[in-house]
Amino acid sequence: MTAAAPRFAVISGEQVQQVLHGRESEIQELIEAVYGLHGQGGTMNPPSYFLRFPDRPSARIIALPASLGGPLRTDGIKWISSFPENTRSGLPRASAVLILNDPDTGYPYACLEGSLISATRTASSAALAADRLSRGRARPRRVGFVGTGLIARHIHTHLTATGWEFDETGVYDLSADSTDGFRGYLERSGTKGRITAHDSAEHLIRGSDLVVFATVAAKPHIHDVSWFEHHPLVLHVSLRDLAPEILLDSANYVDDIEHCLKADTSPHLAEQLTGGRDFIDGTLDDVSTGRVVVPDDRTVVFSPFGLGVLDLAVGRYVHDELARRGDLHVVDGFFDELRRHG
């Protein structure tokens, strides 16, 4: 009996955008479910692999292999590049593709434009963390963004689409053009409350109850613990902004401990400084399930390394929705050598 020839679809960024637009709450539920599955051992998420370039020290390409169980069972890999110099010409820093593999045959069945999927899962994870980590403490009314690029925009979109409203939105970036561009986005999107462009990271942090770091920093540039004496909630999405001393003075939550404490992230530097991991208070799934309780009298920092299984889940969601609509672009004859003996 001859098996049917595997199909291979190519899914454009435009199609990804069409499927995900306006689905922020639904995607957040999906992300939380995947965190739960991951916490129960229903995924495989091996270490990410970094391709670095001696002649381009700021650039890297990262491979995130993963396997997802449960209702969205699939295997795959995200191949995502980070070239910060792109922003000088107006291009986004990151570009990516996501490959989905059939878990029964191993054949890849889809290639998706991956940067929007990556930004979506990152933003959805951040918005989920803001909600779960702020329960039991005063809900933040002043949000501040350190770094005002594409990821910051997506995080703001996911926050507002899932019920957040702020009296003030602060912005700070080393690039005045980026600050102006992000402020323009906020105004066009009908952001409520006051929009304030700060002249320093210190002023923004001291004036915010919820601080979002979405920079391209390669090493800590925020060192003063006193800037956080009002105990804000910090979404440390870019992972390398905070000096270890700030983490050691805070309650710390991550998406996955083994993944986060590597590659010279701020939590990794804190581990190297102290020789242990006692400063980690738990994972976001620990918080969501009530296994740990978030304190209301300390700065709270969420440092997500980013899990490939989240990309798989969002990618599978997009693929299945397009298949349901009959809108998959299948490449006929993509697999040509299908007879073992010719």
Q: Domain 137-303, what fold?
A: Rossmann fold (3.40.50)
pLDDT one-digit tens code per residue, 149-200: 999 999 999 999 999 999 999 999 999 999 999 999 999 999 999 999 999 9
Residue ranges per domain, the chain? 9-117+308-325, 137-303
pLDDT tens, residue by residue, 66-78: 999 988 899 999 9
pLDDT per 10-residue tile (average), the chain, 342 residues: 77 98 98 97 94 94 96 95 89 93 96 97 98 94 96 97 97 95 95 96 98 95 98 98 98 96 96 97 97 97 97 98 97 83 67
Helix, strand, or coil (residue 307): coil
The reported pTM is: 0.94
| 79 DSSP β-pair partners | 63, 97
β pairing state of 233-236 and 168-172: unpaired
* Rounded Cα gap, residues 125 and 306, in angstroms: 9
Q: Which CATH number fits domain 9-117+308-325: 3.30.1780.10, 3.30.450.20, 2.60.40.10, 3.40.50.300?
A: 3.30.1780.10
The DSSP secondary structure of 141-201, one letter per residue, reads -EEEEES-SHHHHHHHHHHHHTT---SEEEEE-S-HHHHHHHHHHHHHTT--SEEEE-SSH
- What pLDDT, on a 0 to 100 scale, did the predictor assign at position 72? 87
Q: So what's the pLDDT on residue 2?
A: 52
Please name the residue that has the structure tokens 């590659």: 263
242 strand-pairing partners: 222
- pLDDT of 45: 96
Round to whole Å and give the CA distance between 129 and 301.
10
